[in-house]
Every structure is written in C-alpha cells, then in structure tokens.
Homo-oligomer: A and B are copies of this chain.
Amino acid sequence: MPRPARVSPDRILAAAALEFAERGFAGARVDRIARRARVNKAMIYYHFKSKQTLYRSLLRDLFTLVGNRLEQIASSDRPSAEKIDLTIAMFADMIQQHAAVPAIMLREVAERGAHLDPGTLTALTRVPRLVAAIVQEGVDAGAFRAVNPVFAHFTLFAPVLFYLAGAPIRKEITDLHLMNLSSATPNDFVQHMQETARRALARDVPARSTR
C-alpha cells in the first residue's frame, strides 16, 4: 500500500478548513488555500474537482467526525444526564481540536445550506438525530421532563457554538474597553452549559413560587 499518497489532499483539507472558516465560501480564495497548504493551485483542482467539491469534502469529513464521537456516547450505558454532559464536553473539545468548525457551521446555517449536497446533509443529520435520541431516551426513562428533543438539541449546541466562535469579536470589544467579555475560559462556559442543561432537562419542578 502506497501510504504517503494522501499527504497532499490532507494538507489541502486542513488549509481549506482555515480559509473557509475565516472567509466563508464566497470569500475564500483558492490561491490562498494553495499557499497555506504549500501546494500549487493546480494541485487543488487535480485532487478535488472544484472549489465546491473541496468544500463539500471538508464538511462531510467534519460532520462524520462529530457523528462518530456522538455515536460512541449515545451507545454507551451511562445515565442519560451523564450522556448530555459528555455530549456538551465532546462538542466543546471537538471545537478546540478543529478550531474551524464553529465558524463554518455558523456560516453554513446563514447560507441556508446553499453549498450542501444530499450526501453532506446526510452526514450532518446524524448529529441532531443522535442528540435527540439521547434526550428522548432520558424522557422515556423518566429522568428528563417532557421536552421536544429537537428543541433540546438546539438549546444545548447553539450556545457552545456561538460562544466559542464569538471569542475573537468578544476580544475586540474587550480591547476597545466597551465591555469586559473576555475574562472567562472556554471550560468555564462548558460547565455553565452543563449546569444549565441539567436544570433545563430535570424532571422535577425547580421552584414553587413560580405562579
């Protein structure tokens, strides 16, 4: 097996992730991706058919990665509440490892999925499907209150995505002394979200003075 064959495609994908995250699909420049990957621009068109094909390959790889890790958590035999904690932590960890993920996902939602083909959408859909399954399992077992599992998925993921993606803009606001938004660590926020999720999903009513 000629092992080193994928060195070039892999470097291109890594460079593309950074470029697409920073500039979006329309703003990304194939020239820049080539420079960042230290390959010739023509090599990109040799390995991938077009800018769009490259983009789709990248997204499918990323979604598959998240889906695989989520599947491990979902199929484990831990209590539902713990699976939620693990899911939040996994997602935050994934973002630390692949810093390009949040920006790309934010952009793709804003783009209305314009660049996604059915194959990529299928890889993407595994994520809400698995999260919803974890939540539903907890509801069925009586551990969680009766929530819409899809709603729960958005409630858990969106803040993590948004908060971690927003670090640069928060830093700018902080540097301009408009407001101090940069004193907490990513891990602080993960813990906050785990606590929030626990309370939001818990079956028992929190306060009695609700009325």
Contacts and interface: CB of A to CB of B under 8 A. Distances in A.
24 contacts: A23-B26, A24-B27, A24-B111, A26-B26, A27-B27, A103-B109, A107-B110, A109-B166, A124-B173, A125-B178, A151-B163, A151-B188, A154-B159, A154-B162, A154-B166, A158-B158, A158-B161, A158-B163, A162-B162, A198-B206, A198-B210, A199-B200, A200-B200, A202-B207
A177 to B, nearest CB: 10
- Chain A, interface residues (CB within 8 Å), range: 35 or more
Contacts of A169: 108-109, 112-113, 116
Interface of A: 21-27, 102-104, 106-113, 116, 118, 121-122, 124-125, 128-129, 147-148, 150-151, 154-155, 157-159, 161-163, 165-166, 168-169, 172-173, 176, 178-179, 181, 184, 188-189, 192-193, 196, 198-200, 202-208, 210
A150 B128 CA distance: 26
A128 B27 contact: no
